[in-house]
């Protein structure tokens, strides 16, 4: 059974299903209850499940995450919302010093089944601290699972898989894709949470991306096909762990790779992916692994964010440079 819905509605439906399936699941965050969240992802959930399971928290990200950690250790499965990506930093110490380390610290005796939802990325014309891409901080941290859906279908299933995980999951939601629609199969088995997806198959070059840039890369691949170039597009879906096998199989086929993300270039996930492909696919590569990213600067004012974000032209230029080798 399939339904057409926006990513926002798919996330809401996935959270609803998780709440229905397990009485130990609860939600917490700033304005997620009566308001339904800034982006209405949790709309009507407090009405239907009550204020003890859908909790309007104080404006204190460290407190939200710290409380959720304690509840996870007591057998609950909390799902907390960080209202905007740039607000996660007050909770950074809790996440990297406590949440991520608990299983290792206890030699596997304790688990932390909690989800931290983070609306992320730019493209919505927001003010400072509302358009960040902090995923590399968390992908760098052992003990955290880091994922990023790009479609309503993935959003619906991945949020349920994240809630069911016994490890802490950082769940990045591409906020500028919240209102884009797609088909959601409510019954077909989903991909594993840690699996990448081949969105488009091709033979000349591989585009590797995730989250908000998947749609842009598909548009670039279709534009390239009009010029006789066959571009494969891979949606990582999981940023930690990475699905190395899928990446390796694609690059061994095409011999070329371009990694695309909104986050800054230096220290970004693209460098890690390029390094792994260099090690694993050295004899298959026909060109250096290239990166198309945000610039090494704070996210700019909304008037000029279109010049900061990778776009079709920048991606196609990288494809041309790769094929020129």
CATH number at residue 57: 3.40.50.970
Residues 121, 39: one domain? Answer: yes
pLDDT digits (tens, 9 = 90+) for 282-313: 999 999 999 999 999 999 999 999 999 999 99
- pLDDT for 209: 98
Nearest residue to 262 via CA among 223, 219, 314: 314
Residue 95, in any domain of the structure: yes
Residue 59, in any domain of the structure: yes
Residues 169, 245: one domain? Answer: no
Mean local confidence (pLDDT), 254-269: 98
Annotate 178-202 with DSSP letters as a single string. Answer: TT-EEEEESSSPPPPTT--EEEE--
User: What count of other Cβ atoms lies within 10 Å of the Cβ of residue 62?
Assistant: 14
Residues 146, 96: one domain? Answer: yes
Q: What is the mean pLDDT of the chain?
A: 97
Residues 124, 253: one domain? Answer: no
The domain boundary residue, chosen from 161, 185, 209: 185
pLDDT digits (tens, 9 = 90+) for 149-161: 999 999 999 999 9
Share of the chain above pLDDT 70, in %: 100
261 catalytic, yes or no?
no
Q: 215, 180 in Cβ contact below 8 A?
A: yes
Residues 128, 172: one domain? Answer: yes
Residue 89, in any domain of the structure: yes
The domain boundary residue, chosen from 153, 185, 217: 185
Residue 191, in any domain of the structure: no
Mean local confidence (pLDDT), 28-50: 97
∠ Cα 216 121 294 (to 5°): 70
Q: The domain spanning residue 241 has which CATH number? A: 3.40.50.920
Residue 313, in any domain of the structure: yes
**Catalytic-labelled residue, pool 44, 129, 130, 325:** 130
Q: 167, 143 in Cβ contact below 8 A?
A: yes
Kindly report the pTM of this predicted structure: 0.96
How far the first Cα of the chain sits from its last, in Å, is 47
- pLDDT for 178: 98
249-284 residues labelled b (16+ CB within 10 A) or e (exposed): bbbeebbbbbbbbbbbeeebbbbbbbebbeebbeee
What domain range includes position 181?
2-185
Q: How many domains would you assign to the chain?
A: 2
Residues 304, 252: one domain? Answer: yes
123 pLDDT more than 90: yes
Residues 295, 214: one domain? Answer: yes
Residues 38, 132: one domain? Answer: yes
What tokens does 200 get?
Answer: 């488009």
Residues 168, 224: one domain? Answer: no
Residue 190, in any domain of the structure: no
The domain boundary residue, chosen from 150, 185, 220: 185
Q: How far apart are CA 240 and CA 191, in angstroms?
A: 16
Residue 289, in any domain of the structure: yes
Strands across the sheet containing 54-56: 54-56, 25-29, 77-81, 115-120, 169-174, 145-147, 238-240
Cis peptide before 226 (omega within 30 of 0): no
Mean local confidence (pLDDT), 156-181: 98
222 pLDDT more than 90: yes
Mean local confidence (pLDDT), 314-323: 98
| Helix or strand holding residue 116 (H, E) | strand 115-120
Q: 43, 36 in Cβ contact below 8 A?
A: yes
Residues 14, 96: one domain? Answer: yes
Burial class (CB in 10 A: 0-12, 13-18, 19+), 48: exposed
Sign of CA dihedral 26, 151, 278, 192: positive
Residue 237, in any domain of the structure: yes
Residues 225, 292: one domain? Answer: yes
DSSP, collapsed to helix, strand or coil, labels residue 165 as coil
Confidence of residue 1 (pLDDT cuts 50, 70, 90): confident
Residues 152, 47: one domain? Answer: yes
Confidence of residue 280 (pLDDT cuts 50, 70, 90): very high
């Amino acid at each position: 059974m399939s339904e057409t819905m926006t990513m926002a509605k798919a996330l809401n439906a996935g959270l609803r299903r998780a709440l229905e399936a397990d009485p130990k699941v609860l939600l917490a965050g700033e304005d997620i209850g009566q308001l339904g969240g800034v982006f209405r992802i949790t709309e009507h959930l407090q009405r239907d499940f009550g204020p003890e399971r859908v909790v309007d928290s104080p404006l204190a990200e460290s407190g939200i995450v710290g409380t959720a950690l304690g509840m996870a250790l007591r057998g609950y499965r909390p799902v907390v919302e960080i209202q905007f990506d740039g607000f996660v930093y007050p909770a950074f110490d809790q996440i990297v010093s406590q949440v991520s380390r608990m299983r290792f610290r206890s030699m596997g005796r304790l688990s932390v089944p909690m989800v931290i939802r983070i609306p992320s990325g730019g493209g919505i014309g927001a003010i400072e601290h509302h358009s960040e891409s902090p995923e590399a901080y968390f992908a760098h941290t052992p003990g955290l699972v880091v994922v990023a859906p790009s479609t309503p279908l993935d959003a619906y299933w991945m949020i349920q898989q994240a809630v069911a995980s016994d490890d802490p999951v950082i769940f990045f939601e591409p906020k500028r894709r919240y209102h884009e629609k797609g088909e959601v199969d409510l019954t077909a088995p989903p991909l594993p949470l840690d699996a990448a997806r081949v969105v488009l198959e091709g033979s000349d070059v591989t585009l590797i991306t995730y989250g908000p840039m998947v749609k842009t890369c598909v548009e670039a691949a279709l534009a390239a096909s009009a010029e006789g170039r066959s571009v494969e597009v891979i949606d990582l879906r999981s940023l930690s762990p990475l699905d190395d096998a899928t990446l390796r199989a694609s690059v061994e086929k095409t011999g070329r790779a371009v990694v695309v993300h909104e986050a800054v270039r230096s220290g970004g996930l693209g460098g890690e992916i390029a390094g792994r492909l260099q090690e694993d696919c050295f004899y298959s590569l026909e060109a250096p692994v290239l990166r198309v990213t945000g610039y090494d600067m704070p996210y700019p004012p909304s008037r000029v964010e279109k010049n900061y974000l990778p776009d079709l032209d920048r991606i196609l230029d990288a494809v041309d440079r790769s094929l020129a080798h």
